[in-house]
Structure 1
């Protein structure tokens, strides 16, 4: 294909105790038009990140695209990329993973190849874990893990989330840095907390796929959320308000966005103090990244 459009969904990760292991694709999308050119590189960005992200070879999408082309032993003379971004940057909604997945998908399309397991490996290498990348790549609910002596071979399994599951995000205006918020986490956790996380993560898989009535218990966490409170006190306040009202609320990824998961028969509580947050209801994306020709 010489001109095509890549559409990639946002993602949420962790989903409670499933730290670096659980991810889910959300119906908020970045779009990229990819055109081959006789030479050079031109990058145009509108929407989220416009005027802030680099528009040269340092753009994350471009770096991922180049990595995919090298892996597939393919070259192109030049490129024009038009990026229209709807995923908020640095809010815990997988904007960087979406850019990487879009770049990898574009590289595969330019090489005339279908996405495969190597595509996940390429995307996950940029972040060092596969939860967000796998969700944007595959859609639905994903279980991600790593293998090998250096834990540098990334794998993921896609599952269908329960059809009655609904997602609402509470997005604050301030941005976050995953590197900074990870620095708040302890190097070691008590054995009891590790055992608690293992049980809740296993329960979360069941709750998210077949038993949404178990979501509140399944999304309890002792691994990371409370440790992030000094960075995001308002985020943790909203999480606790929602959970006190019986809603399965979690910090989305590294924050500061809050994710609330509800069932068909479960409205969000009224009177919630969500000042400073933009509230969006999102479908759960089931398709993952999509590539289609233009014209």
Structure 2
């Protein structure tokens, strides 16, 4: 049996960035790592976030099976899989997209069937249902994703060196539930409101223009319908603005994400206080954008930190 492992690293992502619903994604410097190798019997070990997740809900395992069945027309061999998850589940930080890409890249490497970026993104989007998180996780940096029929066109930009606070309240809010809250139709004026702001978010993030980002990171397509589902979230965004940051829901939530150019600790603490005032505990991360996307390599053994 080959003792070497495939190691896959995939970053967290934040999507929408306020007005860019399902079109904007940004990679963050918070990484999941997965190690995979052939085994005599299937084994899955999870460390970090998501311990205790049922095997049938493991998106990495699902993605490996999807790759083998969709691309190769066969079932995968028995595999030993070790996860070290830093991205919290159901957080609005792209944990599902990261897991799907982990499985797809591992299966591609193990099978020797290399796929180009376009096909990998298509497969990940088929698993996810939308491409914003998957595109940013795969490519890194700031990504604008455009769909034409079944074709996906990601356009990549390099963000400035932002300081980013992510605050995650202790509430269960699935992406499906957050999507179900959205109206099926919107007024033309609401769409127009978002269009110009989405374009300016891209410019502001590239240039490090906080004044512009504070003006641009407003939304009328999804946040007005999702924020009431998350006690304290609207107040947390307001606290971030009070401290000079720009802020929005991270993806579908429940995390709130804030951007500034200096020390984020007071901003993160203020957002946590807003959630606590609403009766919710909240965890916080201080992050930066990642210019790097998902990658894999052969390694001799998993290098799992004992504590973090």
Change (3 A) 1:49 1:192: same
Contact 1:130 1:155 in 2 (8 A): no
Structure 2: segments with no counterpart, 5+ residues:
301-308
Distance in 1 of aligned mates of 2:264 and 2:110:
45
Report the alpha carbon displacement of residue 217 of structure 1 after superposing the two structures with TM: 0.9
Aligned alpha-carbon RMSD (Å)? 2.1
> Is 2:13 aligned against 1:14?
no
Determine the structure 2 residue equivalent to 1:204.
Answer: 201
**Other-structure match for 1:286:** 291
Q: How far apart in 1 are the matches of 2:189 and 2:35?
A: 49
Shift of residue 3, structure 1, vs aligned partner: 1.5
> 1-side partners of 2:261 and 2:247: how far apart?
12
Q: Unaligned regions of 5+ residues in structure 1, if any?
A: none
Aligned to 2:306: none
3-state SS in 1 of match to 2:253: coil
TM-score, normalising length: structure 2? 0.87
Aligned structure 1 segments of 4 or more residues deviating by more than 4 angstroms = 264-271
Distance 1:225 1:288 in 2: 27
Higher deviation after alignment, 247-256 or 278-287: 278-287
Give, in whole Å, the separation in 2 of the partners of 1:141 and 1:119.
18
For 1:263, the equivalent position in structure 2 comes to: 261
* 1:82 corresponding residue in structure 2: 82
Q: Deviations over 1:253-276 (max 9, x none)?
A: 111101001124888559723432
What is the aligned counterpart of 2:162 among 152, 165, 172?
A: 165
- Give runs of aligned pairs for residues 23-34 of structure 1, distance below 5 A: 23-34=25-36
- CA distance in 1 between partners of 2:268 and 2:169 (Å): 19
Matches of 1:142 and 1:246, distance apart in 2: 25
Number of equivalenced pairs: 288
SS of structure 1 residue aligned to 2:18: coil
* Structure 1 contact 185–227 (Cα < 8 Å) conserved: yes
- Alpha-carbon distance, 1:7 to partner: 1.2
Q: Using the alignment, how far apart are the partners of 1:65 and 1:268 within structure 2?
A: 42
Which position in structure 2 is the counterpart of 1:73? 72
Hey, what does 1:4 align to over in structure 2? 6
Q: Distance in 2 between matches of 1:44 and 1:95?
A: 17
1-side partners of 2:195 and 2:220: how far apart? 11
CA contact (8 A) 2:264 2:286 kept: no
Give the superposition deviation at 1:244. 3.4
Calculate the TM-score normalised by the size of structure 1: 0.90
